[in-house]
Amino acid sequence: MSKTNTSLDFREGIIRKRLDKINRTILVTSGKGGVGKSMVATTMAASMAKSGMKVGLLDADVYGPSSAFIFKVKDLPREDRHGLLPPVSNGVKVMSLDLFVKGKPLPISGKGARQIIKELLALTEWGDLDFLIVDTPPGTGDVLMTLIKTLGNKSSSIVVTLPTALSTSIVRRVIELLLSSQIPILGVLENMSYIASSKTRPIQSSEGKSLASEFGVKFLGELPIDYEASKVADAGDMQSLLKTDFARALVISLEKLNLIKNVELS
Ligand SMILES: Nc1ncnc2c1ncn2[C@@H]1O[C@H](COP(=O)(O)OP(=O)(O)O)[C@@H](O)[C@H]1O
Ligand SMILES: [Mg+2]
């Protein structure tokens, strides 16, 4: 988009006003698909809300929206004179493209994806929030670039990876992009590191920690492969998801960042 176009985009001013009411924005990102970004973003949002904070979740994965599914929200956002009011689930205000398209396929070009993200940010009336958690799509394409540009210095990030070298080879690119875009990286989370019930490590490698140290960012810890977490996420049962080993390990990681305190999960 040219400079002239950007300055003519009336949404920028509206978005800025909305962001002024949000204390912090955290992008949950990875570059890679299927690593658990949506599981982390949703569980994190719900546990933060449970600890008493005002939390919103923007599902920015316009290609494979998952947050509304995990939160089991289906209601269309209500409209008032301030904008679109996101439905609330488990104390979290959830906004997702999926609330409008309801699981239908939606062919989206790169330009279309950029517009959707801007529309969602311009139209959603979050009100005052302590945290807006943003669930991002895989890749370093249009959506992530639009989020970085639009949220700018309001935003920091958490990077999710798997224990494998294949995963870190892709995640490394996102870390480089975030750093070059001056988006602070709060830390790296390694998901699916060990089996929750047996504590065995089916994937013998453990790449997340060295990836974090390679870039001088915090390693936030390992999250278990947790069949129960996957099952209750599939059922959209957030209250049960919060009681899993997966959620407990995630909360311990978030406590390291002082993002959450005094939350009683079970
Ligand atoms: N730690 C985990 N234990 C068990 N299943 C998991 C775990 N993390 C993710 N999953 C499952 O893997 C699939 C992909 O996770 P998801 O959060 O959608 O990944 P992403 O958003 O990175 O594409 C989902 O079905 C989810 O339930
Ligand atoms: Mg996802």
Residues with CB under 5 A from ligand 2 (ion): 37-38, 61, 66
Residue 186, ligand 1, Cβ within 6 A: no
Residue 192, ligand 1, Cβ within 6 A: yes
Cα gap 189→180, rounded to integer Å: 20
Query: Which 3 state secondary structure label does DSSP give 203?
Result: coil
pLDDT attached to residue 2:
46
Residue 242, ligand 1, Cβ within 6 A: no
Tell me whether residue 260 is in a domain. no
What's the whole-model pTM score?
Answer: 0.95
Nearest CA among 124, 18, 131, 127 for reference residue 78: 124
Residue 229, ligand 1, Cβ within 6 A: yes
Q: How far is the CA of 178 from the centre of ligand 1 (A)?
A: 23
Nearest CA to ligand 1 atom 17: 36
Cα gap 106→144, rounded to integer Å: 19
pLDDT attached to residue 35:
96
Residues 244, 235: contact at Cβ < 8 Å?
no
pLDDT attached to residue 265:
78
Residue 188, ligand 1, Cβ within 6 A: no
Tell me whether residue 227 is in a domain. yes
Tell me whether residue 262 is in a domain. no
User: What are the phi and psi torsion angles at 185 (to 5°)?
Assistant: -100, 115
Ligand that comes closest to the CA of residue 60 = 2
Ligand that comes closest to the CA of residue 162 = 1
Nearest CA to ligand 1 atom 25: 230
Residues 146, 106: contact at Cβ < 8 Å?
no
In angstroms, the Cα distances linking 210 to 100, 140, 218, 265 are 41, 22, 10, 30
The domain that holds 153 is classified in CATH as 3.40.50.300
Residue 233, ligand 1, Cβ within 6 A: yes
Residue pLDDT, tens place only, 188-234 = 999 999 999 888 998 888 899 999 999 999 999 999 999 999 999 99
Tokens 């311990």 sit at which residue? 252
Structural domain span for residue 28: 3-255
Q: What would the DSSP string read from start to end of 142-176?
A: HHHHHHHHHHGGGEEEEEEE-SSHHHHHHHHHHHH
Total number of domains in the chain: 1
pLDDT attached to residue 231:
98
Residues 160, 67: contact at Cβ < 8 Å?
no
Q: Are strands 92-96 and 88-89 parallel, antiparallel or unpaired?
A: antiparallel
Q: How far is the CA of 84 from the centre of ligand 2 (A)?
A: 23
Residue 103, ligand 1, Cβ within 6 A: no
Q: How far is the CA of 72 from the centre of ligand 2 (A)?
A: 15
pLDDT attached to residue 7:
57
Tell me whether residue 71 is in a domain. yes
Tell me whether residue 263 is in a domain. no
Tell me whether residue 117 is in a domain. yes
Tell me whether residue 116 is in a domain. yes
Q: How many CB atoms lie within 10 A of CB 105?
A: 6
Report, as ranges of residue numbers, the positions in the chain whose pLDDT lies below 70.
1-7
Nearest CA to ligand 1 atom 14: 34
Ligand that comes closest to the CA of residue 231 = 1
